[in-house]
Amino acid sequence: MTMASTKELAANSRDIRPGRIITWTLLLIGGLIMITPLLFMFSTSLKTSGQVYDLRLIPAAPTLDNYIKVLGDGRFMQWFFNSTLIAVTVTISNVFFDSLVGYTLAKFEFRGRYFIFLAILSTLMIPTEMLVIPWYLMSSQLGWLNSYWGIMFPGMMTAFGTFLMKQFFEGVPNDFLEAARVDGLNEFTIWWKIAMPMVVPAISALAIFTFLGNWTAFFWPLIVTTSKELYTLPVGISSFSAEASIQWELIMTGAAIGTIPTLLVFLLLQRYIVRGVMLAGLKG
Amino acid sequence: MASANALPQTGPVRFWDRLNISTKRVIWAWAFLAVPIIFYAGIRFYPTFQAFWLSLTNWDLLRPAQFIGFANYQKMFADPVFWKVFQNTFLYLIIGTPVSLVVSFVIAYYLDRVKLMHGFIRALYFLPFLTTAAAMGWVWRWFYQPVPIGVINGFLSSFGIPQQPFLRSVDQALFSILIPAIWAGLGFQIIIFMAGLRAIPNTFYEAAKIDGLGDWAILRKITIPLLKPTTVFLVVFSSIGFLRIFDQVYNMTSNDPGGPLNSTKPLVLMIYQTAFSSYQMGYAAAQTVVLFTILLIVSLLQLYVLREKK
Amino acid sequence: MRKAYVAGLAAGISFIAMGAAQAVEIEYWQYVFDSRVQAMDQLIEKFEAANPDITVKQTTFPYADYQTRVVAAKVAGQGPDVVQLFYGWTDQFVNGGLIQPLDPAVFPHAEIEADFFPIVSAMKRGEDYYGLPTAVRSLALFYNKALLDEAGVQPPNTLDELLAVAEATTKRDGSGNITTAGITMDMAGQDHHWWREVLIRQNGGVPYDAEGNVAYNDAAGAAALKFYTDLQTEKNVGLVGFMDEGQAAFRAGMAAMTIDGTFRLGAFAGNPFEWGVVELPADANGMRSNYSSYFANGIGATSTGEELVAAQKFLQYISSPEAMEIWLNTVGELPARRDVALTEANLADPIRGPFLKGLEYAQTTQFYDEAAQRQTAIDMVNRVLLEGQSIEDSIAQAAAAEQAIIDQGRQ
């Protein structure tokens, strides 16, 4: 494995033990500093309003009261459901369409292919912020404001995903596809049954990115939603925090509730997520 | 479309059967692309042109848009707040991008060599990337409070260091917002750098070792040059992120958005306020055109500069 | 046989449909403020009990995007039937076509003018009223009894006493940082009203001239601003941004005094310490002033037909004496009808009394764009405190900025 390369090198060249211990310790301290905000967030979410001024990390008398209070009226559950529904739907759409387009651009010969590719790629240059005003106008005319579809429609396909999938499909040998054609499979089946299983790592990378991006998306959902029942989790947390009259223990609880799901998923799927991010970064 | 040739003896199928293979494949290709083309045309390209058009109108949500030429641009370029915002946006970019890249590279470089608890330490750095900026903005806002509630100031004053105003200072506020933004993106950049490091073939290092190069020389002559594609990707990716900063600022300064005294206001927050607090959609559209232009120039510039020496 | 069955079924369905059509649902919008939302829940419950054919759905938004939401909903064609608005937003709401005039047949002008406090005239444009308040608000000085007792001082009656009490109650740590503020400083809260309508007048000026133009760019305005910023710079008894918001500091028991409105009574009711209220401090000559304002309820422009009728009924109810009593007891805001407010019991009440007295000499600012005008006051103070700009320069800049907003609002 190439992963061993630099390590072996480090081990062989200037292997000064104290140096390595210091490096390791510094890295660990840095890592702990990285999660300090999260630790304090969880710690404060377990404190009562009277204990908030006690800045010790371990709460004197931890309590789940804040969680009961915050989750009590079901708002967070609704926002959690909305975010999940939206992120899952958009992810499925991206996996389907980005792969389909990426495959078509990688494996089909036709006039205009390069033009289509460039056109899609050029949309990477258009910032979302430029499109929100026209999207808002479009949504208001078509009655999409304040609806799930209104939140989702801008992200149903992305140039990034298409580009990523095209890169991977280019690595799929044509022989497999030709063999399938000889067997009489139609092009859609070839793509879905033969080509797609060969790029599963790329699909999972795309899925992870799309899901995370939509799960944490704030700007467009903030604009397009007008009723609380349709807020996504980030918009809900932001509005909840602004309404909490600076009661930090409740604000931290809201933030913790918004953070726990992704942390759990990460802990379960750490290897796949890290690999997916690496793949997307290298080829994207 | 999946079952097109499964249909029995109907007209279109006989027509379909008469086509040669390459024509069939072209038809398949366009069939695959049909929905996406409608999507990109309707949801990406048309709105782009519409944004340019709206920037030349006085549309305010309530009354129909009227063409007013370049009045919005004149107003914008004459507005000192716009220039302040313009400057802030660049500060986010020119501080955020290099700092986050250097820090993440250093961490990745050393983390890559660590075996003991590698997965655990990597997870510590990566976790913030999975958080929601809107929620973390509030956590950091709490961190920056003055005593007796703020964690950082509580820490400082326990060492007798005077407390810092952070978000309540025209000089510190922008940096105070930049730190959470860098913090959240660091894990991603570290992972990408580590992937890049591992992709460098071992033979390069072995050759360098035979030539008797030291660690520093190897880093400078082999690692960094070979990491160029990764670096280019990260520079572009994080620059775009910093130029579009919004979530953190919106949530950390909600009492006085972009304040104090506009010292933290980025372009995207100005766009949001102009469009969705003042309903000056035409004026906001002009601001988005400026953002588009900046992003375009910065991206092209970086690609040009960084590709040059390859 | 079968036909009859189907016909019966169809009749049944249409009967159910008719029943459904009879229950009109109207939507009521206000911004989020716990006690206000609770009070409105109570009012809706009582109203629905009296009008079983009408259901009212309450929708709330954070204060910061409330106006945006109203406009956005109008664009989306799904606006509220009855909507709450700050009196200072009336111009924007009327010009934007967000609300419709009240029908004089349902809301006779003579009655409005006889029964309500005169400040209701701020809802009149031309010959039409665009809304009616349930409650009016004024300002007062809240104090934390425990902290004052601990320092051995009495609640202040004058500005000089205010300074003395603030100094006596401020606590600082070893590094000189404030750990308990003598008085909260929060221009984004109510302090800009205190500065505008009270401190400027007590220094011998007026915030606006007879035509409504900015008039505080003078010695009086400067003295008022200096008094305010000195609280932080010279006296070190308050700190802008302490505990993030003034009300949060007071509620946490971390500030001895705060200036806030009647609407805060409900939120402060749960404070874990004893607190009291006094009138805003007088100046050396005993001159007092106050700022009064209110949120009115208007009828949404998109409301028509039976929804409009239901909306009118609902508006009548929430501006009735009964509703005002409920609002007073839940939110703490003062009834907008004179005879409901000025009862002997209310005037003698240690909490309500100071607010009602304040109402007698209160001023109402004619806002064109309340949020933007408030921002000019926030920036004015920030320039002095954070950038070291001189009082005179800062006030001149604020006056120019606010005048520009007023000019634009008049167009």
CATH number at residue C176: 3.40.190.10
Within 8 A of B105 by CB-CB distance, chain A residues are none
Distance CA A238, CA A259 (A): 13
Predicted confidence (pLDDT) per residue in A50-69, tens digit: 888 878 888 888 999 999 99
Predicted confidence (pLDDT) per residue in B50-78, tens digit: 999 999 999 887 777 889 999 999 999 99
* C100 and C182 part of one domain: no
Q: Between residues 19 and 38 of chain C, which touch chain A (CB distance below 8 Å)?
A: 32
Within 8 A of C61 by CB-CB distance, chain A residues are 228, 239
Q: Is residue C12 part of a domain?
A: no
- Please state the domain count of chain C: 2
**Residue among A218, A240, A246 with most chain C CBs within 10 A, to mutate:** A246
For residue C364, what pLDDT band results from cuts at 50, 70 and 90? confident
Q: Is residue C8 part of a domain?
A: no
Distance CA C105, CA C121 (A): 18
Question: Which residues form the domain of C261?
Answer: 139-291+369-410
* C397 and C382 part of one domain: yes
- For the segment B212-234, the average pLDDT, to the nearest whole number, is 87
Instruction: Tell me the C-alpha to C-alpha distance, in Å, between residue B31 and each of A188, B28, B46.
Output: 10, 5, 22
Q: Across all residues in chain B, what is the average pLDDT?
A: 89
- For the segment B143-148, the average pLDDT, to the nearest whole number, is 89
* C205 and C316 part of one domain: no
For residue C156, what pLDDT band results from cuts at 50, 70 and 90? very high
Distance CA B221, CA B239 (A): 26
- The vertex-A240 CA angle with A234 and A243, nearest 5°, equals 145
Tokens 């040009």 belong to residue: B304
The torsion of the CA quartet A39, A44, A45, A46, rounded to 10 degrees, works out to 100
Q: Is residue C343 part of a domain?
A: yes
Q: Which two tokens stand for residue C114?
A: 């006889």
Min Cα–Cα distance to chain C from B82, Å: 15
Question: Is C188 in Cβ contact with B261 (below 8 Å)?
Answer: no
For residue C282, what pLDDT band results from cuts at 50, 70 and 90? very high
Q: Is residue A155 part of a domain?
A: yes
Pick from B157, B167, B277: CB nearest C177: B157
* A50 and A167 part of one domain: no
* A59 and A139 part of one domain: no
Question: Is B51 in Cβ contact with A134 (below 8 Å)?
Answer: yes
Instruction: Tell me the C-alpha to C-alpha distance, in Å, between residue A91 and each of A191, A203, A207, B114.
Output: 19, 10, 6, 34
Chains that touch B (3 or more CB pairs under 8 A): A, C
- pLDDT score of A24 more than 50: yes
Please tell me the predicted confidence (pLDDT) of residue B7: 47
Q: C100 versus A277: which is more confidently predicted?
A: C100
Please tell me the predicted confidence (pLDDT) of residue C211: 87
- Burial code (b: 16+ CB inside 10 Å, e: under 16) for C262-288 equals bbbbbbbeeeeeebebbbbbbbeeeeb
Question: Which residues form the domain of A134?
Answer: 68-283
* C187 and C302 part of one domain: no
Distance CA C85, CA B41 (A): 41
Distance CA A39, CA A49 (A): 18
Min Cα–Cα distance to chain C from A213, Å: 24
- For the segment B108-136, the average pLDDT, to the nearest whole number, is 92
Q: Is A243 on the interface with C (CB under 8 A)?
A: yes
* A160 and A88 part of one domain: yes
What DSSP assignment string belongs to A115-156?
HHHHHHHHGGGS-HHHHHHHHHHHHHHHT-TTSHHHHHGGGS
Please tell me the predicted confidence (pLDDT) of residue C19: 44
Quickly list H helices, chain A: 3-12, 17-45, 65-72, 75-107, 113-122, 128-142, 148-152, 159-170, 174-182, 187-189, 200-215, 219-224, 233-243, 248-283
- pLDDT score of C33 more than 50: yes
Pick from C60, C75, C247: CB nearest A140: C75
Q: Between residues 50 and 89 of chain C, which touch chain A (CB distance below 8 Å)?
A: 59-65, 69, 72-73, 75-78
For residue C210, what pLDDT band results from cuts at 50, 70 and 90? confident
Within 8 A of B276 by CB-CB distance, chain C residues are 65, 68, 72
Instruction: Tell me the C-alpha to C-alpha distance, in Å, between residue C350 and each of B178, B205, C276, C346.
Output: 48, 83, 8, 9
User: Strands C24-31, C54-61: parallel, antiparallel or unpaired by DSSP?
Assistant: parallel
Q: Is residue A59 part of a domain?
A: yes
* A44 and A74 part of one domain: no
Q: Is residue A2 part of a domain?
A: no
Residue of C138, C319, C350 whose CA lies nearest to C327: C319
Q: Determine the topology of domain B78-308 in CATH.
A: MetI-like fold (1.10.3720)
* C58 and C108 part of one domain: yes
For residue B13, what pLDDT band results from cuts at 50, 70 and 90? low
Distance CA C121, CA C366 (A): 11
Distance CA A239, CA A222 (A): 10
Cβ count near A123 (within 10 Å): 18
Predicted confidence (pLDDT) per residue in A266-283, tens digit: 888 888 888 888 877 766
Within 8 A of A100 by CB-CB distance, chain B residues are 32, 36
Q: Is C404 on the interface with A (CB under 8 A)?
A: no
Min Cα–Cα distance to chain A from C198, Å: 26
Predicted confidence (pLDDT) per residue in A158-196, tens digit: 999 999 999 999 989 999 888 988 888 889 999 999 999
pTM of the model: 0.87
> With helix as H, strand as E and coil as C, how does chain B read?
CCCHHHCCCCHHHHHHHHCCHHHHHHHHHHHHHHHHHHHHHHHHHHHHHHHHHHCCECCCCCCCCCECCCHHHHHHHCCHHHHHHHHHHHHHHHHHHHHHHHHHHHHHHHHCCCCCCHHHHHHHHHHHHHCCHHHHHHHHHHHCCCCCCCHHHHHHHHCCCCCCCHHHCCCCHHHHHHHHHHHHHHHHHHHHHHHHHHCCCHHHHHHHHHCCCCHHHHHHHHHHHHCHHHHHHHHHHHHHHHHCCCHHHHHHCCCCCCCCCCCCCCHHHHHHHHHHCCCCHHHHHHHHHHHHHHHHHHHHHHHHHHHHCC
Predicted confidence (pLDDT) per residue in C44-97, tens digit: 999 999 999 999 999 888 776 788 778 877 776 778 999 999 998 888 888 888
Question: Is B146 in Cβ contact with C241 (below 8 Å)?
Answer: yes
Chains that touch C (3 or more CB pairs under 8 A): A, B
- Percent of chain C at pLDDT > 70 equals 94
Indicate the residue among A63, A84, A100 that finishes a domain: A63
For residue B308, what pLDDT band results from cuts at 50, 70 and 90? low
Q: Across all residues in chain C, what is the average pLDDT?
A: 89
For residue B208, what pLDDT band results from cuts at 50, 70 and 90? confident
Pick from A143, A227, A245: CB nearest C267: A245
SS3 (DSSP) at C277 = strand
* C32 and C93 part of one domain: yes
Q: What is the CATH number of the domain that holds A251?
A: 1.10.3720.10
Between A and C, how many residue pairs show a Cβ–Cβ distance under 8 A?
40
- Write out the H or E segment, with its range, that includes residue C42: helix C34-50
Between B and C, how many residue pairs show a Cβ–Cβ distance under 8 A?
79
Q: Is residue A244 part of a domain?
A: yes
* A87 and A24 part of one domain: no
Pick from A145, A242, A246: CB nearest C243: A246
Q: Between residues 64 and 93 of chain B, which touch chain A (CB distance below 8 Å)?
A: none
* A135 and A160 part of one domain: yes
* C268 and C317 part of one domain: no
Question: Is A243 in Cβ contact with C62 (below 8 Å)?
Answer: yes
**Residue among B142, B157, B172 with most chain C CBs within 10 A, to mutate:** B157
Cβ count near B219 (within 10 Å): 13
SS3 (DSSP) at A84 = helix
For residue A10, what pLDDT band results from cuts at 50, 70 and 90? very low
How much is the ipTM here? 0.88
Within 8 A of C74 by CB-CB distance, chain B residues are 62
- pLDDT score of A79 more than 50: yes
For residue A15, what pLDDT band results from cuts at 50, 70 and 90? low
Question: Is C76 in Cβ contact with A140 (below 8 Å)?
Answer: yes
Please tell me the predicted confidence (pLDDT) of residue B307: 66
* C73 and C131 part of one domain: yes
Phi, psi dihedral angles at C184 (to 5 degrees) = -80, 150
Domain ranges across chain B: 4-54, 78-308
Distance CA A188, CA C126 (A): 68
For residue C22, what pLDDT band results from cuts at 50, 70 and 90? low
- Please state the domain count of chain A: 2
- pLDDT score of A12 more than 50: no
* C191 and C47 part of one domain: no
Indicate the residue among C327, C347, C363 that finishes a domain: C363
Q: Is B158 on the interface with A (CB under 8 A)?
A: no
Q: Which residues pair with B270 in a beta bridge?
A: none
Distance CA C39, CA C318 (A): 10
- Write out the H or E segment, with its range, that includes residue C144: strand C139-144
* A96 and A174 part of one domain: yes
Residue of C107, C99, C108, C106 whose CA lies nearest to C130: C99
* A158 and A270 part of one domain: yes
- pLDDT score of A109 more than 50: yes
- The vertex-B251 CA angle with B246 and B252, nearest 5°, equals 100
